[in-house]
Amino acid sequence: MPVTDQAMLTWCEMLLGGGGAKASLTLADYLRAIPGMASLADLPAGTPVLVRGDVDAKPGATIGEGDIRLRSMADTLSFGQRHGWKQIVFGHIGRKPEGSLAKVAKRLGEIMTCEVALITDWLDESTMTLLPSAVEQIAAAKPGAILMLENTRKYEIERVLWKAKPADLPRLAPKLAKLANEFAEKLSTAFVFEAFSAGSLDACSVAVPAAMSRVALGEYVAAEFGGPVLRCLDSQLVVFSGLKADKLDDMEAMIRRGKITRVIAAGALSGALRKAAALLDGKECCLGVAEDPAHADKPYFVPNDRIEQARRIISEGREKGVKFILPVDFVIQDGRVVEALRPGDEQFDVGPKTGKLFEEAVGEFLALDGAVAFYNGVFGMFEDPRFEGGTKRFIPQLKRLTDNGVEVYVGGGEGGAALEKYGQANWATHVFTAGGTVLNALGSEPVPYLVALRAAAQR
């Protein structure tokens, strides 16, 4: 049954409101509510099935290079091939609309040992209708075929919910309803989500499911959430870093669960915590340009509300016995190591004293017989040799933890790249393909696509 404009409005209000999630809903509740691939086994051969795929990849010269997200889709796509479905894979590459999935389609074909036809143009945004040529190409495909729609973010409609406010939704809902209904009426009403990293409010991830009659989690996504992500909820040591202070939201939620005993922090996130700790202890602390209003438009800027949040986190954490290990020296823009930032200084890495402090903190954690650790982010601009020292020095601590029986989970993105550059895969229990999605799942807000799929499954 087509989704109405009003129904889509309500749907989007749910998404923008943090998923309309009740405090009692846990990640496990979401997973129980969303069917797995086996629930679609009754779909007959020749059935077109939509597959929201993890196609945001940069394939290298051969299979195994830059294509881990594509390889993560193989079991789900093989399931569809065995059942003779016509699978329509779609998703984005990067954030820019001009990006193309041409190389991705070619590599996916190599992985699946079949041709994956790329449909370059598939939507007329002026009417919000699927192009007849695209619909006809899919209809003509043989059972077992895999096709791919070009970068969904080439169309503005895919991106309209990113910065949408509740007041914008009455204007956007009819367009989103039209898009969802076009997918359902002209392509398929069966929707598989196999894009672990796709945590944004992309229309094809969170609005299209509103018009679906059957939804399922792909094999890889279901396994990641049902195993490693759930285990991360038991982390006692978390290593947080990154350029943006908004990770404080996730840290706060994780600490409130009562399992964490140690927090190692770096990056802009640590700046907010250092400032907050200084305020609580009656000390001075300068964050350099990170607290300069002239830099308010920069991602590393730490606003006052984040400092207040950090003060609340540290205050509540200390009451629970949580120990915060924060940087004590810094590598700034000219490569010098300083023990205190001054106005005009910008932190690009942590210094050697901080590296030693972090190593001592790992030793203390091991002495407490800690069992689970989560590492996310890097300590500086590690792509530049001048600012890689902090990260390079810490990565062997993951091996130290693993060698001492601790389960070590590494967020994807930069954290995974750092492990690959400075260590070995077996230094961790598990490396995720998307750190942001994991933080989202561990944090205060539910993952948007899990919210959408749960709502679709309950319709």
The string of DSSP codes covering 21-39 is --TT--HHHHHHHS--GGG
Q: Residue 436 falls within a domain, yes or no?
A: no
Do 343 and 249 share a domain, yes or no? yes
Q: Do 141 and 286 belong together in one domain?
A: no
In this prediction, residues 410-432 reach a mean pLDDT of: 90
Same domain, 146 and 262: no
Quick: pLDDT tens for 16-40: 986 554 556 788 999 999 999 999 9
What is residue 243's predicted lDDT score, i.e. its pLDDT?
66
- 186-245 pLDDT, tens digit per residue, is 999 999 999 999 989 999 999 999 999 999 999 999 999 999 999 998 999 999 887 676
CA distance 456 to 459: 5
Q: Are 182 and 239 contained in the same domain?
A: no
- Clarify whether residues 389 and 272 are in a common domain: yes
Q: Which element (helix H / strand E) includes 190?
A: strand 190-194
The answer on 312 and 222 residing in a single domain is no
Task: Select the more confidently predicted residue: 85 or 24.
Answer: 85
Return the axis-axis angle of helices 5-16 and 448-458, rounded to nearest 10°: 140
- pLDDT bucket at 139, cuts 50 / 70 / 90: very high
The rounded distance, in Å, linking the Cα atoms of 117 and 85 is 15
How far is the C-alpha of 192 from the C-alpha of 217, rounded, in Å? 6
Residue 352: inside a domain, yes or no?
yes
How far apart (Å, rounded) are the C-alpha atoms in residues 432 and 224? 8
Identify the helix (H) or strand (E) that includes residue 319: helix 304-319
pTM of the predicted model as reported, rounded to 2 decimal places = 0.89
Q: In angstroms, what CA-CA distances link 312 with 97, 320, 324?
A: 39, 12, 13
Q: Is the Cβ–Cβ distance between 438 and 432 less than 8 Å?
A: yes
Q: Flag the least confident range among 58-62, 106-110, 420-424, 438-442.
A: 438-442
Give the separation between CA 183 and CA 157, rounded to whole angstroms. 14
CB 235 within 8 A of CB 428: no
pLDDT band at 5 (very low <50, low <70, confident <90, very high): very high
The torsion region of residue 119 among left (phi > 0), alpha (psi -120 to 50) and beta comes to: beta
Residue 435 lies in a domain: no
Query: Do 308 and 267 lie in a common domain?
Result: yes
Q: Identify whether 369 is part of a domain.
A: yes
Q: In terms of residue numbers, what domain contains 417?
A: 233-428
As a whole number, the mean pLDDT across the chain is 93
Q: Are 278 and 412 found together in one domain?
A: yes
Tell me if 437 is assigned to some domain: no
| Same domain for 283 and 314 | yes
Do 175 and 321 reside in the same domain of the chain? no
Does 98 fall in a domain? yes
Q: Number of folded domains in the chain?
A: 2
With pLDDT > 70 as the criterion, what percentage of the chain qualifies?
98
**Domain for residue 94, yes or no?**
yes
What would the DSSP string read from start to end of 355-373? HHHHHHHHHHHHHTT--EE
Distance, CA of 411 to CA of 430 (rounded, Å): 9
Report how far residue 274's alpha carbon sits from residue 445's, in angstroms, rounded to the nearest whole number: 25
Amino acid, single-letter form, for residue 338: V
Helix axis angle for 267-280 and 304-319, nearest 10°, is 70
Domain shared by 170 and 303, yes or no:
no
Domain co-membership, 259 together with 348: yes
| Residue 254: pLDDT band with limits 50, 70, 90 | confident
In this structure, what CATH number is given to the domain that contains residue 252?
3.40.50.1260
The average pLDDT across 153-165 equals: 96
* 326 domain-assigned: yes
